Structure 1
Amino acid sequence: MTRLGMTVPFDNVPLGEQRDRFVELEDAGYTDLWSAEAMGADAFTPLALASVWTPSMRLGTAIVPAFTRGPALLAQSVGALAQAAPGRFTLGLGTSSDVIVERWNGIDFDRPYYQVRDMVRFLRASLTGDKVSAEVNGTSIKGFRLGVVPSEPVPIHIAALREGMLALAGREADGVILNWLAASDVPTVTKIVHDAAEGAGRPDPQNVEVVARLFVAVTEDRDTVMALGRHAIAAYLNVPVYRAFHEWLGRGEQLGEMWRLWGEGDRKAALEAILDSVVDELIIWGSAGTCREHLDAYVDAGVTTPVVALLPFGYDERAAARALAAAG
């Protein structure tokens, strides 16, 4: 495994007090720090701190929603962070979900494919420092010129679940970001990415980077993993975009009863309906050595950059991060 990322920041620790945790990751051999954006810290602030705290590490967002910032503001955020960490920042952009976009931000989750496609094209143009006029999902942007131009090109990765976005990543992005999938699912999704890259005439279709955010619990307490893992899976896979993803992957029969009961409002029964085998497929757990073997299975299947997201299942997460790195 040539790259290994960690999801930051860590929960339940004030952001300004996480420097030692970030530095430990760098010292342990992690190559990447990737932030997310839901209801905690925004995606850019932890990476701005990391640009100073961990000067050797690559920094990435997995992901920034394409809807929740205007095009000019998003370009400013990208340009500023790219200047703070020259050559070390990768923008991961995606649709996010209707929950985050509509319910929490009051923005219409309208034509998400076009929002991502047009935002990627706008950012590509604006990050050169040229004056840009463009259409982003039906909205006109007129005469914007970015004042913080990166010294090096910023790679843009697209978060993708199903065929349309996967193919868009292959045609127009530097990489694809995957989430909530089993190692056995990786060839299904990466084939679409690589085929689209080849169809677009890209010089080396296999070089589209594949980043996967993988949920890890470094514990051998099976009962805890099964109980808490069901909660984590239900929280995500009942969101419409993730339900559609797993139906497409062929888990309709395995997850159908959970979806039915959840829709009827019987949350307890819905959790009980999630099979142990689904938890084992979607959550990496066990000793540090076992977890690294499972991470390696994703790499063997086609992931180029696994990014660990530690699940808070009652173990020492700081020690677990070190043990994971040492087990490689």
Structure 2
Amino acid sequence: MTLIEDTRARLGAVGAWLPSAPLAPPPDVERAATRRLADAGYRSVWSGEGPGSREVFAHFGDLLASVPDVVLGTGIANLWARRGATAQKGGATLAQAHPGRFVLGIGAGHAFQAEKLGEAYRPIDRMRAYLSDMDAAEAENPSPVAFPRILAAVGPKMLELARDHADGAHPFAQPVSHTPYAREILGPDKLLIPQQTVLLGTREDARESVRRRVAQSREYRVTAYIAGWKRLGYRDADIDGPSDRFVDDLVLWGDAGTIAKRLDEVLDAGADHVLLTPSATSFESTVDILLELAPEVVR
């Protein structure tokens, strides 16, 4: 069995994606939440790193040791936080300690993060060089246990880089219609693990959630998300409205049964494993909603 086949088997269909772990809640709260999600049937739990969050490799080392029967994935380890060789060694360390239970998702972050370091934001060039550094570190000191690396990828060039130099892609904040688009570029032999926002509520509730996402994307100049939406045919009027079509494509909303049926659309469109993120206001409410959804969505 290849690494990708083994990863697909271990991940199953559905996982949980939690907001980047801040320094609060305390680690024991997050360990308990991860335990509850695993007990509810979620095959993987993901989070990443952003401003004010925990350092992702130390964070995941703690969680992997504390919750021994779930796959953990970084969504994402930010390349501005460490060199490629360091990321490779960090991944190899966790994979050896916890075989088959760690997926390294890597992302180029956003322009405001690069600017804080005085760097130009050229995500494709930077990611290509970063992967080369990782490859060189692996060639010099091979990892005793192989682990998958996937890229935060939305547009065609990053998806092609994920296809040619990684094990797949982890699209974030994209509509359901992005999944077949990404699968066509990746081909059948790479992992496709999209994050998907879900909301227990009405279309109007979902519309308000989308408005917040759009406002935040424009405030922080997260151009990749907006460009991805437009690439799928949405105009500024759809995005800023937001239109019913855009709301329904970006958020799986309704009751738990309706959300489960929409989830099947994402899987049927080519996703290997879908990471659910509730539209919620706190870490605790995010976990509670995932637990409420579990009887319908976990399969």
- Post-superposition Cα deviations, 1:30-85, rounded to whole Å, max 9, x if no partner, equal 11111122223333333222211221211211112223312333233323322332
TM-score (norm: length of structure 1): 0.77
Q: Which residue of structure 1 lines up, in the alignment, with residue 194 of structure 2?
A: 212
Match of 1:279 in 2: 247
Q: Secondary structure at the match of 2:177?
A: helix
Q: Please give the alpha-carbon distance, in whole angstroms, between the structure 1 residues aligned to 2:290 and 2:276.
A: 9
Aligned partner (choices 298, 307, 312) of residue 275 of structure 2: 307
Give how far 1:253 is off.
Answer: 4.7
Query: Distance in 2 between the 1:4 and 1:113 partners?
Result: 29
Aligned partner of residue 17 in structure 2, secondary structure: strand
- For the structure 1 residues 30 and 43, does the alpha-carbon distance in structure 2 shift closer, same or farther, using more than 3 Å as the test? same
- What is aligned with 2:125? 114
Q: TM-score, normalised by structure 2?
A: 0.84
1:160–1:166 contact (8 Å) kept in structure 2: yes
Q: 1:239 aligns with which of 189, 209, 222?
A: 222
What's 1:85 paired with?
A: 98
Which string of whole-angstrom CA distances, capped at 9 and with x for unpartnered residues, describes residues 222-262 of structure 1? 44332233112321365222222222222125447x3xxxx
Which amino acid in structure 2 is aligned with residue 116 of structure 1? M
Residue 8 of structure 1 corresponds to 18
> Number of matched residues?
281
C-alpha RMSD of the superposition: 2.5
When structure 1 is superposed on structure 2, of 31-40 and 311-320 the one drifting more is: 311-320
Partner SS for 2:88: helix
Match of 1:325 in 2: 294
Paired AA for residue 215 in structure 2: A
1:212, CA displacement in angstroms? 0.4
Structure 2 match to 1:17: 29
The amino acid that maps onto 2:296 is A
Q: Give structure 1 stretches of 5+ with no counterpart.
A: 131-145, 195-205, 259-272
In the alignment, the residues of structure 1 paired with residue 294 and residue 189 of structure 2 have an alpha-carbon distance, to the nearest angstrom, of: 25
Conserved? CA contact 2:175–2:229, under 8 Å: no
Task: Tell me the amino acid that sits aligned with residue 212 of structure 1.
Answer: P
Structure 1 residue 305, shift from structure 2 partner: 0.9
Q: Secondary structure at the match of 1:165?
A: helix
Do 1:225 and 1:313's aligned partners in 2 also have CA atoms closer than 8 Å?
Answer: no
2:263 equivalent to 1:295:
yes
Match of 1:97 in 2: 110
Gaps of 5+ in 2: 1-10
Quote the Cα distance in structure 2 between the aligned partners of 1:150 and 1:173: 15
Alignment of 1:184 with 2:184, yes or no, is no
Query: How has the CA–CA distance of structure 1 residues 290 and 233 changed in structure 2, closer, same or farther, with 3 Å as cutoff?
Result: farther
Question: Residues 288 and 320 of structure 1 are in contact (CA less than 8 Å); yes or no, is this contact kept in structure 2?
Answer: no
For residues 107 and 64 of structure 1, the distance between their equivalents in structure 2, rounded to whole angstroms, comes to 19
- Conserved 8 A contact 2:171-2:194: yes
Q: Distance in 2 between matches of 1:31 and 1:228?
A: 26
What amino acid sits opposite 1:294 in the alignment?
A: R
2-structure distance, mates of 1:307, 1:228: 18
Structure 1 position 171 matched with structure 2 position 161: no
Residues 193, 275 of structure 2: 8 Å contact kept: yes
Map Cα deviations across residues 87-129 of structure 1 (whole Å, 9 max, x no partner): 2211111211102222xx324134321221222232133135x
Q: Whose RCO is larger (CA < 8 A, sep 6+)?
A: 2
